[in-house]
């Protein structure tokens, strides 16, 4: 029966102590005497034939049911075994009852102090596969410099090429030209903080990364850690980076995956990282976008929330954040555990221009993404300015059903509270979602910044207390003009309108307005920059109403 990693560590320790006690008593040495040799074992051979093994040290069972990707804690060998002693180490199948038919045997010389033994390779020694081996590595059990983190890197992936390991933020190379079964010559001392690590082919640049990781944090100050490439590149178990502490505890280093995969990957997805541009960051929610996929990072309190409040995470940052994925009423979000701001001051992704009908039909494709919706009519429901934590009905030319709403976040998460509600607006911001029953509905425009909602560009609405009696297209003023003139029209009721400009040959040169507008008088600016002098016709269509007038551009 397989045991847990904790059981393996306890078994290794207890059996080693039992063996040591037996030998100590036989030699007349106190069992609790201080030893001179300390050993930790790490199982990193990914082949199925060695998935679970037993380990014998000097003929004594030292580790029972030792599983792949687990480690023992450091244990002391009996004190009468002097440094420099050579002991036989046997590895057997876990089903074996003794060490008479080992998978692998090796005599290992143990120096004074601490040693890590790492199992790697193929126990069947098939052609083309790295042979099974036990690699002894001189070790330390705490940081070499006060307050720092001491890290040792081991290449244990049989089919991975020789690699370099780079700190992507500083450009420093932490490991150079490591091939399978090799390790850094000594522990690398680094500041105890979070790191964006990149794995590249040996002696290549950071531009051709094979993998990206988010590793370490401030809690590892004064620690020593071993990081191993573990598993296969092209088969299962798939390659991961395994971090092992002296007490035998182990965890995977969070690998950076595409935001799209984080959004649409399996429900079991956990302990991963994403990298992208921060498009909005305020209060509890930070939105991260990579290409045309985005995800919300949610934290009520913690390091990410504190960094947002302090301005250390802001729009335009390249952010790497790790954690687990959760689902809050159909909104995919990351509960963060670690982060690094890789760089700052980037241009935000260009918003995708969509309408409400598209959001209603395909909202999941835009969730948390930066978008732009024009011709937006917001039902203020009696509010002159936006209230926070409020849902407003919205429509545009494409959808009058209120299938998509506008939801202002809570006061800690938005700056929109108190901003006047325009009669016609453009929304440029992120898409939220809230549905406790159906993940195909509940999409919302989520204004975060006060500038996410602006009055419709080039449209001014005069006092509509006395509405026009009929549709009308008025003369442009000034006329002639250079390079701008104002075109006015009147609507007795809310209506769909199309206002276009044509040259004398009938070729359309501008669309000044297209969409649903409320009743009233409207003014639109015609900017003729880039057009040649001459006569132009502007035409207004609204239902059965059609009218046209001319204007002269004189440059």
Q: What is the pLDDT of residues 241-266, one digit of tens each?
A: 999 999 999 999 999 999 999 998 88
Q: Report the alpha-carbon distance of residue 188 to residue 215 in Å, rounded.
A: 14
How many angstroms separate the CA atoms of 244 and 251, rounded? Answer: 7
Q: What are the pLDDT digits (tens) for 467-509?
A: 788 999 998 888 888 999 999 999 998 899 999 999 988 899 9
CA–CA distance, 521 with 545 (Å, rounded to integer): 15
Task: Kindly give, in sequence order, each residue whose CB lies less than 8 Å from that of residue 71, ignoring residues fewer than 6 positions away.
Answer: 5, 9, 40, 41, 42, 43, 244, 248, 249, 250
Question: Where does the pLDDT of residue 437 fall: very low under 50, low under 70, confident under 90, or very high at 90 and above?
Answer: confident
Quickly list DSSP for 341-395. Answer: EEE--PPPPPPEE--HHHHHHHGGGTTT-EEEEEEEEE--TT-SBPPSSEEEEEE
Buried residues in 423-460 as b, exposed as e (16+ CB within 10 A): bbbbbbbbbbbbeeeebeebbbbbbbbeebbeebebbe
At 357-367, the pLDDT tens digits run 999 999 999 99
Q: What is the pLDDT of residues 304-321, one digit of tens each?
A: 999 999 999 999 999 999
List the structure tokens of 441. 């509905």
**DSSP-assigned letter for residue 555:** -
Among the residue ranges 220-229, 274-283, 327-336, 454-463, the one predicted with the least confidence is: 454-463
Indicate if the pLDDT at residue 6 is higher than 50.
Answer: no
* Cα Rg of the chain, angstroms: 34
Q: Which of 189, 116, 192, 195 is nearest to 150 (CA)?
A: 189
- The Cα–Cα gap between 351 and 161 comes to 39
> Residue 516 has what pLDDT?
87
Looking at the DSSP bridge assignments, the partners of residue 540 are 499, 547
The pLDDT of residue 465 is above 80: no
* Complete domains list, the chain, with CATH: 1-139 (no CATH), 259-343 (2.40.50.140), 352-457 (2.40.50), 460-553 (2.60.40.1930)
> What's residue 527's pLDDT?
92
| In the predicted structure, residue 25 carries a pLDDT above the cut 60 | no
pLDDT of res. 457: 52
pLDDT score of 206? 53
Pairwise CA distance, residues 331 & 298, whole Å: 11
Token pair for residue 492?
């007795």
Gap between the Cα atoms of 301 and 312, Å rounded: 15
Name the pairing type of β-strands 104-110 and 113-120: unpaired
Please give the Cα distance from 370 to 315 (Å, whole number): 12
C-alpha 451/C-alpha 419 separation (Å) is: 9
Taking 80 as the threshold, does the pLDDT of residue 24 lie above it? no
What confidence tens digit (pLDDT) does each residue in 369-413 have?
A: 999 999 899 999 999 999 999 999 999 888 989 999 999 999 999
Residue 162 has pLDDT above 70, yes or no: yes
Residue 466 above 70 pLDDT? no
Tell me the pLDDT tens digit for each residue of 40-51: 999 999 999 999
DSSP summary character for residue 481: B
Phi, psi dihedral angles at 378 (to 5 degrees): -105, 130
* Distance, CA of 326 to CA of 241 (rounded, Å): 23
Q: Give per-residue pLDDT as tens, 110-153.
A: 999 999 999 999 998 888 899 999 999 999 999 999 999 999 99
Measuring CA to CA, how many Å separate 192 from each of 147, 195, 240, 496?
A: 7, 9, 22, 61
pLDDT of residue 325: 92
| Predicted TM-score (pTM) of this structure | 0.77
291, 263 Cβ separation under 8 angstroms: no
Rounded Cα distance between 116 and 248, Å, is 11
* 208 — pLDDT class (breaks 50, 70, 90): confident
What is the C-alpha to C-alpha distance for residues 372 and 422, in angstroms, rounded to an integer? 16
SS3 of residue 211 by DSSP: strand
Q: Which two tokens stand for residue 326?
A: 């959760």
pLDDT over 80 at 7, yes or no: no
- CB 297 within 8 Å of CB 261: no
Place of tokens 């029953």: 437
Q: Give the bridge partners for 330, in sequence order.
A: none
Phi and psi at residue 303, to the nearest 5°: -65, -40
Residue in this structure with the two tokens 């609405």, named with its chain if needed: 461
Peptide bond into 483 cis (omega under 30): yes
What residues pair up with 136 in beta bridges, in sequence order? 117
Task: At 520, list the tokens.
Answer: 């009233």
CA–CA dist 308, 414 (Å, integer): 13
Environment class of 247 (CB within 10 Å of its CB; exposed 0-12, middle 13-18, buried 19+): middle
Q: Which residues pair with 287 in a beta bridge?
A: 280, 296
Sequence-separated (6 or more) residues with CB below 8 Å from residue 164: 173, 175, 176, 177, 178, 199, 200, 201, 202, 203, 204
Instruction: Give the rounded percent of residues in the chain with a pLDDT score beyond 90.
Output: 75
The SS3 call for residue 150 is strand
Check whether 27 has a pLDDT greater than 60. Answer: no
> To the nearest whole number, what is the mean pLDDT of the chain?
89
Joined tokens for residue 234: 């092209």
Question: How does residue 71 score in pLDDT terms, banded at 50, 70 and 90?
Answer: very high
Q: What is the pLDDT of residues 340-352, one digit of tens each?
A: 999 999 999 999 9
Q: CA end-to-end span of the chain, whole Å? A: 89
């Amino acid at each position: 029966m397989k045991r847990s990693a904790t059981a393996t560590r306890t078994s290794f320790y207890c059996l080693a102590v039992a063996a040591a006690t037996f030998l100590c008593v036989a030699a007349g040495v106190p069992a609790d005497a201080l030893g001179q040799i300390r050993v930790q074992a790490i199982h990193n051979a990914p082949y199925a034939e060695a998935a679970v093994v037993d380990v014998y040290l000097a003929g004594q069972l030292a580790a029972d049911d030792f599983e792949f990707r687990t480690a023992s804690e450091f244990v002391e060998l009996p004190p009468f075994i002097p440094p420099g002693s050579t002991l036989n180490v046997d590895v057997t199948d876990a089903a074996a009852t003794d060490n008479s038919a080992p998978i692998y045997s090796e005599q290992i010389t143990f120096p004074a102090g601490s040693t890590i033994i790492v199992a790697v390779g193929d126990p069947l020694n098939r052609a083309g596969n790295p042979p099974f081996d036990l690699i002894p590595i001189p070790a330390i059990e705490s940081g070499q410099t006060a307050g720092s983190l001491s890290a040792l890197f081991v290449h244990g992936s049989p089919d991975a090429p020789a690699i370099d390991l780079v700190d992507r933020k500083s450009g420093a190379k932490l490991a150079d030209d490591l091939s399978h079964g090799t390790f850094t010559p000594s522990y690398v001392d680094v500041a105890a903080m979070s790191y964006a690590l990149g794995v590249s082919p040996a002696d290549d640049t950071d531009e051709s990364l094979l993998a990206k990781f988010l590793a370490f944090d401030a809690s590892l100050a004064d620690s020593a850690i071993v990081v191993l490439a573990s598993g296969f590149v092209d088969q299962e178990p798939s390659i991961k980076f395994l971090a092992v502490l002296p007490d035998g505890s182990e965890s995977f280093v969070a690998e950076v995956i595409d935001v799209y995969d984080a959004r649409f990957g399996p429900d079991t997805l956990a302990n991963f990282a994403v990298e992208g541009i921060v498009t909005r960051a305020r209060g509890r929610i930070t939105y991260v976008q990579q290409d045309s996929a985005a995800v919300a990072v949610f934290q009520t309190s913690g390091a990410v929330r504190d960094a947002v409040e302090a301005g250390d995470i802001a729009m335009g940052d390249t952010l790497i954040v790790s954690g687990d994925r959760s689902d809050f009423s159909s909104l995919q979000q990351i509960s963060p555990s670690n982060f690094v701001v890789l760089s700052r001051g980037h241009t935000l992704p260009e918003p995708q221009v969509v309408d409400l009908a598209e959001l209603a039909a395909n909202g999941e494709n835009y969730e948390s993404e930066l978008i732009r919706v024009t011709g937006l009519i917001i039902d203020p429901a009696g509010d002159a300015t936006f209230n926070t934590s409020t849902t407003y009905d919205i429509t545009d030319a494409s959808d009058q059903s209120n299938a998509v709403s506008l939801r202002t976040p809570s006061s800690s998460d938005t700056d929109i509270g108190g901003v006047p509600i325009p009669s016609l607006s453009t929304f440029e911001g992120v898409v939220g979602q809230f549905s406790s029953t159906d993940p195909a509905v509940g999409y919302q425009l989520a204004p975060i910044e006060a500038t996410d909602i602006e009055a419709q560009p080039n449209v001014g609405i005069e006092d509509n207390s006395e509405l026009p009696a009929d549709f009308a297209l008025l003369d442009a003023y000034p006329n002639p003009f250079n390079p701008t003139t104002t075109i006015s029209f009147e609507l007795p009721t809310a209506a769909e309108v199309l206002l276009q400009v044509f040259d004398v040959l009938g070729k359309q040169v501008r669309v000044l307005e297209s969409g649903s507008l409320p009743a009233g008088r409207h003014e639109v600016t015609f900017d003729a920059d880039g057009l040649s002098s001459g006569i132009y016709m502007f035409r207004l269509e609204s239902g059965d109403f059609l009218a046209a007038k001319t204007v002269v551009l004189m440059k």
